Structure 1
Amino acid sequence: MIERMNQSIPTPFFSVVIPTRNRCGLFKIALDSVLSQDCTDLEVIIVNDGSTGADLEAYHALELAYQGKASFHYLVHRPNGHGQSYSMNFGAGQARGKYLCFLDDDDAWIDPHHLQRCKASIEAQKTSTDLYFTDQRALFSDGRPNNTPLWISGVEKFAHGAPDANGTRRISAAELLQAGGFAHLNCSIYRREFWLGFGGMDENIRYECDRDIYMRGIDAADCILYNPAVVSEHNIPDPKKSNNMSTAISIFEKKIYQLRVFDKGILLSRNKAVVAFSKRAKAYELKKIATTLVETGRYTEASYYIRETLLLTFSPKWLGYFLYCHWKQLTSGAQS
């Protein structure tokens, strides 16, 4: 009987996953922005990553208020949470939709036509679309806009495909990588079977997990669509606060996660453009680590990371930097 009832429920086109933890006020804004979409062929899945106290009570109140509009799932409490990757994967596991969408609980969709435009472009394709990307704008914690180039903004100038009636065009991994950035999860839509097929998000990564799945996704995808519309608003985390991934971990821990992302790109990717980009990006992060170590007087460790950099991208400048660090190590009596 239960199986027959489930079969009678129509499959939504989209499943929207919103992970959240102890940010009920911001979360409500995010949820309302999803429910404001003019496309109604969707389900909304809320994954509460162990909220506690008054926050948990507030979420339960919202669950009652939004009954029938969103399904709420509660993970057991852990001091540091399960992390965004686990929460996203959990939500994807609950999803029934053909396509998976994601939204951070402190951000919001600002374009009510986003999903309807995406659906029209996907349905116009002769083959299955694996990925659909758009873009977003960013605001600092004081409300000022960040006007520097971010994510994959402007990547359409590298694409050879003609846009459809919605401004959407097919694009390749090599073309996407010319933008230098990556598509934030707020602006990424994955075919659910495609997501499940390559394992979803890496739950061992707690920083730039969205870059990791972007790299793995464009490497594995056969059909990628891109629309340059700015569909969401991203709130840049306040560095003075510690209730998010970006501010809760140290700079070197962040670099470790970033190196893991690019090592995976080098070792596991099938697309030559993804491999080449990963090598360049890893070299850049190694240089950042080395310069930070030099600034703190850690010349022995800096020499090690400069040597790693030289193996990826040799240059006379960085060879000279290596010799300088080695000299500083000897003259300062640093211990190896």
Structure 2
Amino acid sequence: MPKVSVIIPAYNAMLYLPKTVDSVLKQTFTDFEVLIINDGSSDHILEWATGLQDPRVKVISQENQGLPGARNTGITHAQGEYIAFLDADDLWEPTKLEKQVYCLDNKPIVGLVYTWTILVDWQDNPTGRIFASHAEGNVWQQLMETNEMCNGSSSMVRRCCFDTVGVFDRSLKSAEDLDMWLRLAARYPFAVVKEPLTLYRQHSNSMSKNRERMIENLRIVIEKTFQSVPLDLLHLRNRAYASLNVGLAWLAIEEGDYKKAIHFRQQALLHHPKIRYSQKFIRLSLAILLIRWFGPHGYDGLRSLSHFLYWQILSFAR
């Protein structure tokens, strides 16, 4: 049996899928299987798959069930002790699996290990943004307040954990990964590999761009989660909504709409006034101020400059 099962849901993803699979096959850790779940695609995925020479790669076809259903099919067929999830348009650095396997092998109480994430554009160029969370151990509250893990392609989970918490919620059309991580975090400690080993692609077809659906499903996840928490944790519900509104304000910043960002910022304060002291909120307020002063294009230029300087400093430090 393979040590790791890599699950890649694919729906009309041939624009990126070959490079995604290639990033798996180039891993320094080699004891894995790759399960590509063809979720009712109408592109030429099956013809492409017949040309793959690596016996570790398998394609499982089904009628379209959405991302949660495709992941669940992968879990059902997985033979590995550990399961790693990878979206069909994201990429891994070569040592990702090796370092995550080492972590789970040496920390038997940990249920999930994730990595830091670099955001890249459709041509794989770094945008300058990086998600670098230090949350580990009992992370449930941090996940509830800030969704520290940010994406579904950085996680590796012990297969046995799904026997305890169940599989992905197929009723959710987005935010199903946050729902799963919260259920896992309620039962198991998490660990993090503090290196940017996951490349998260941003492009116009990204599911996260469907804002209304995303908001609706995040609300569902928040309400679902707080249906069963102890009474002494109910105060975190308002913090979760405050964090959600800060995230929506940042999306408005990405669109250059500072008035909408101000609206969501105010909603965040109404839910949790102390959020004004958080680093994310302070950065948001600064971004709003810069857009008001310099306009969206001026703000983009300043942000690009700050990202460039950040990467230069990071490269020098290495």
Task: Verify same fold: TM over 0.5.
Answer: yes
| Number of the residue aligned with 2:111 | 130
- 2:186 aligns to what SS in structure 1? helix
Structure 2 unaligned spans of 5+: 258-262, 275-318
| Number of the residue aligned with 1:102 | 85
1:155 maps onto 2:137 in alignment: no
CA contact (8 A) 2:81 2:159 kept: yes
CA contact (8 A) 2:130 2:196 kept: no
Identity percentage over the alignment? Answer: 21
| Number of the residue aligned with 1:246 | 208
- 1:28 aligns to what SS in structure 2? helix
Q: Distance in 2 between matches of 1:280 and 1:175?
A: 10
Cα deviation for residue 216 of structure 1 reads 1.9
1:93 aligned to which of 45, 57, 76? 76
The aligned amino acid for 2:14 is C
| Number of the residue aligned with 1:259 | 219
Q: CA RMSD in A?
A: 3.3
CA contact (8 A) 1:97 1:192 kept: yes
CA contact (8 A) 1:155 1:175 kept: no
1:44 aligned to which of 31, 34, 53? 34
| Number of the residue aligned with 1:282 | 241
The aligned amino acid for 1:24 is M
Q: Distance in 2 between matches of 1:271 and 1:70?
A: 47
- 1:155 aligns to what SS in structure 2? coil
| Number of the residue aligned with 1:8 | none
| Number of the residue aligned with 1:17 | 7
Per the alignment, do residues 51 and 262 of structure 1 end up closer, same or farther by CA in structure 2, a change over 3 Å counting?
Answer: same
2:47 aligned to which of 53, 60, 65? 60
| Number of the residue aligned with 2:290 | none
Cα deviation for residue 186 of structure 1 reads 1.0
| Number of the residue aligned with 2:162 | 195
Cα deviation for residue 178 of structure 1 reads 9.3
Greater radius of gyration (CA): 1
- 2:69 aligns to what SS in structure 1? helix
Q: Distance in 2 between matches of 1:198 and 1:174?
A: 14
Q: Distance in 2 between matches of 1:193 and 1:94?
A: 13
Query: TM-score scaled by structure 1?
Result: 0.67
| Number of the residue aligned with 1:323 | none
Per the alignment, do residues 42 and 50 of structure 1 end up closer, same or farther by CA in structure 2, a change over 3 Å counting?
Answer: same
- 2:146 aligns to what SS in structure 1? coil
CA contact (8 A) 2:24 2:92 kept: yes
Cα deviation for residue 206 of structure 1 reads 1.3
CA contact (8 A) 2:99 2:193 kept: no
Structure 1 unaligned spans of 5+: 1-10, 157-169, 296-301, 316-336
Q: Distance in 2 between matches of 1:105 and 1:86?
A: 15
| Number of the residue aligned with 1:164 | none
- Which string of whole-angstrom CA distances, capped at 9 and with x for unpartnered residues, describes residues 275-300 of structure 1? 554431224547969xx9xx9xxxxx
Cα deviation for residue 271 of structure 1 reads 10
Per the alignment, do residues 314 and 114 of structure 1 end up closer, same or farther by CA in structure 2, a change over 3 Å counting?
Answer: closer
- 1:51 aligns to what SS in structure 2? coil
Cα deviation for residue 314 of structure 1 reads 7.7
1:75 aligned to which of 42, 62, 66? 62
Kindly report which structure 2 residues correspond to 1:199-210, keeping only aligned pairs within 5 A, or say none. Answer: 199-210=166-177
The aligned amino acid for 1:84 is L
Kindly report which structure 2 residues correspond to 1:316-327, keeping only aligned pairs within 5 A, or say none. Answer: none
1:118 aligned to which of 100, 106, 118? 100
The aligned amino acid for 1:282 is Y
